Amino acid sequence: MDNSKIDKQSRAKFLFEKMDVKKAVWIVAIPGLLTSFMIGLYTFLNQVFILNFVPKTIPILNGDIPNSTDTGIIYDYLSSWNKAHFDRADFDVIFRSYVSYLNGTEGITKISGDSIATISVNATFPFSLFSGSIIFLIPVGASVYYTKCISKKLEATGKDLWSTCFYTTIFVSILTALIMYIAMWCGLLDSLLAKPHFNTYALSQLDSDTAVKGILNKYSANHKASEIFQDYYNACQTISLSWAKLYIYIFGAGTLIQGIYVLISYLIRSEGKNAYVMYWAIGANIAGIAFNALFIIVFKMGVLGGVLATIIGWTINLLAYIAYIYVNNKRGTTWISIHHLISFKFRLKFLAPISLLGLSAFLRSFGIAVALFIITFLLGRMPFTEGSLSIYNWSKASPVVTLFFLALFGISDGIRSILSYNYAKRNFAKCNEIFKWAMIITFIYAFTVTLIAIALAPQFLWMLNTTDMNGSLLSQTSGPVAFLRITIWRLFFYAFAIGGILLFQGTNNIKMSLIVTSMESLITFGPVIGIAIASGYALHNAEVGLFYSSLVIPMAFAVNSVVAGLTIFFLSIRFLKKVMPNIDNIKLSWSRKIEHDFFEKAEKEECSKN
């Protein structure tokens, strides 16, 4: 077969240029949505396995697992002076005694494998989000420029772009792991693991409780019940920290695999093969879920099993994309080539425009990582919160929000290539129509899943092993349910921002891309969360219960999405109606100069080769 006579990008050209917009947008949006939704679903199910089966396979106290001879792990983390190794039944007597002296608006997390795993995994979220933010630094920009190379038929440039980005991604992935480790060694992880806010009155009453004294005598304890009780919670914090550290070490080691598979997946989408990426995302996540079950249930590996299953899923994706490269090179239907990784020209000048555009994707995830870090810190440290109990409530809500939230960005990722292609062709009418349909799809999805999450909040939390004392569904007014129903509104309001992210990244507007992707987490977040902190102190000083005053933090996160989402939406409409139609008559901005220089030089080099 003569590959020189084959149009290697015929699929992309037909889909992006000739097909009706209404049909084409759905074709690229649905795979993008499902691909990202599968990532969210995997993250959620990973939590389901950890939170349901870690307590059943790893005993915290003796007696946690019926008919098991395994010793509780908490005793290895108690202070050296604490020789009172309570079993589950005896500790629960002390716990219930303490809780009985609390007022109705206070609470404390119960020591269990569920609470330790919940807080531990939640502490890793900012680190894994940070890893993802840097990993996306190259792929997003690479996919936009690769799509434009396709539209301009610059094959040699497209191939060099792929090779240059491949080796840059390797460097960035290794750097990411090092930064994660250094941040952990500097104590950032420790600051996310708060102790409970103990009630001094309840502690004092614990020391004089007759039943508690009897248990202390049974274990020949020489210290006060209040001191021993607090030491058990300190040990829980240490266990959570050790599990979180192990998770981050393994996760960091897998960032190289993640970085390469993400890069290739974005380039495959640019070639119009969105469905291929979707199918393998589904397949890899199903395999990851199976390995979750194997590692956590059968091998009793706990949190470690969850992160190992994640890396196996990444590896399956990577192998599938390598197979795509091999098969489609044989057919002559792709520019992505393993051979070109050896024989190519490393184009250092590519990295500046690609990285600048990718910086917007970096800021999007990095900003959220920072915001989640701050929220977790505030919930654990502020006097108007319930400390570790507030973090527990937040941690239970987060997996459900993540389950649905990531798909919003999948819509943008899926449609970006078709918008970028038509913008490069200066088909502005089609760009407007693409934006309109992108927003329609986004709002249909956001409205539907928000209502589902609100209506079925207790059921979702039940799946995460969060029930009342009798093992039944949580009440409608319980802490985790309240936190979930508040934070899920962030998804609906942030839907307004998706069109702007799509529009400014797809048109290679670097300045506006940086602004809109950092709007929620780095621009509006500070003022909104500042008002929330002031409100929390005001409620606390007015002697409102800690549970109610702690709700101002998740409420602020949702309100911040309203402010950021609507601001980005209005900026998008203004660009579509006033700027885009006159874009070629407007003085070149610095970002457009970068793009023009990029393709001017690329076209000259292509001509010289031909």
For 341-388, write each residue's pLDDT tens digit: 987 778 888 888 888 878 887 888 889 999 999 999 999 999 999 999
| Tokens encoding 598 | 């990029």
Structurally, how many domains does the chain consist of? 1
pLDDT in tens, 251-305: 999 999 999 999 999 999 999 898 999 999 999 999 999 999 999 999 999 999 9
Q: At what angle do helices 590-609 and 510-518 cross, to 10 degrees?
A: 130
3-state secondary structure 125-150: HHHHHHHHHHHCCCHHHHHHHHHHHH
pLDDT band with cut points at 50, 70 and 90 for residue 100: very high
**Contacting residues for 21 by C-beta, under 8 A, at least 6 apart:** 430, 433, 434, 437
CA angle 477, 482, 483 (to 5 degrees): 155
**Contacting residues for 399 by C-beta, under 8 A, at least 6 apart:** 43, 44, 47, 48, 464
Decide if pLDDT at 587 tops 80: no
pLDDT in tens, 77-89: 999 999 999 999 9
pLDDT band with cut points at 50, 70 and 90 for residue 566: very high
Give the pLDDT mean for 425-444.
95
Decide if pLDDT at 502 tops 90: yes
Q: Please give the pLDDT value at position 501.
A: 94
Decide if pLDDT at 484 tops 80: yes
Mean pLDDT of the chain, nearest integer: 92
Give the 3-state secondary structure of residue 524: coil
Give the pLDDT mean for 435-453.
98
Instruction: Quote the distance between the C-alpha of residue 484 and its chain's center.
Output: 16
Q: List the domain range (segments joined by +) for residue 66.
A: 3-609
